[in-house]
Amino acid sequence: MKIMDADSIQLHVPTSEDGLPLHRLIQQCPPLDPNSVYCNLLHCSHFASTSVAAKQGGELVGFISGYVIPERPDTLFIWQVAVAESARGRGLASQMLTHLLQRPACSDVRFMETTITPDNQGSWALFRRFAESRQAPLKESVEFDRDRHFSGQHDSEWLVRIGPL
């Protein structure tokens, strides 16, 4: 499935060939955790139907990795949102989220979840705008605590739950 927008960015289901470019893109998008190339390959293959790759001129300029939570098939969890600096400021992340919700794999999705550290203002703004644009409630709570889960080595991860959509 490909969609062309006015800026010639194509949104499509990722393939394993997108794994290494995804790894490189994420390295350019702090504060995202870089993960391993293998992890990125899994997102591009095992979770392809709930992830989206954005390409411009053959170059990967955006990516959202996500999956439907097995125990809650009405919930899409967004793992990471990455947008290259060259593609920022055009609403690409919001377009990718909307694109994902239109996929057959997300036909039963009524809620979207993600986790965000307190200092990631870009992600907070994205998901707040997304909820507002759909007039959907947004709830926040600590999912993984800095001390309890990360032994003080990582900021707390706040769960953001949007929905019903």
> Which part of the chain has CATH 3.40.630.30?
1-89
Specify the pLDDT at position 7.
Answer: 56
Residue 4 clears pLDDT 80, i.e. is over it: no
The DSSP bridge pattern shows strands 111-116 and 157-162 to be antiparallel
CA atoms within 13 A on the CB side of 161: 13
Q: Reply yes or no on whether the pLDDT at 1 is more than 70.
A: no
Position with higher pLDDT, 20 vs 7: 20
pLDDT at 110: 98
* Banded model confidence at residue 5, pLDDT cuts 50, 70, 90: very low
What's the pLDDT at 94? Answer: 97
Q: What is the pLDDT of residue 90?
A: 92
Q: What is the pLDDT of residues 12-56, one digit of tens each?
A: 999 999 999 999 999 999 889 889 999 999 999 999 999 999 999
Task: Report the pLDDT value the prediction gives residue 31, as an integer from 0 to 100.
Answer: 87
Residues 165 and 4: their CA atoms lie apart, in Å, by 25
Long-range contacts of 16-19 (CB under 8 A, 24+ apart): 16/41, 16/44, 16/45, 17/44, 18/44, 18/53, 18/60, 18/63, 19/43, 19/44, 19/45
CATH 3.40.50.920 corresponds to the domain 1-89 = no
The predicted-structure confidence for 56-102, as pLDDT tens digits, reads as follows 999 999 999 999 999 999 999 999 999 999 999 999 999 999 999 99
Six-digit token pair at 57?
Answer: 């001129």
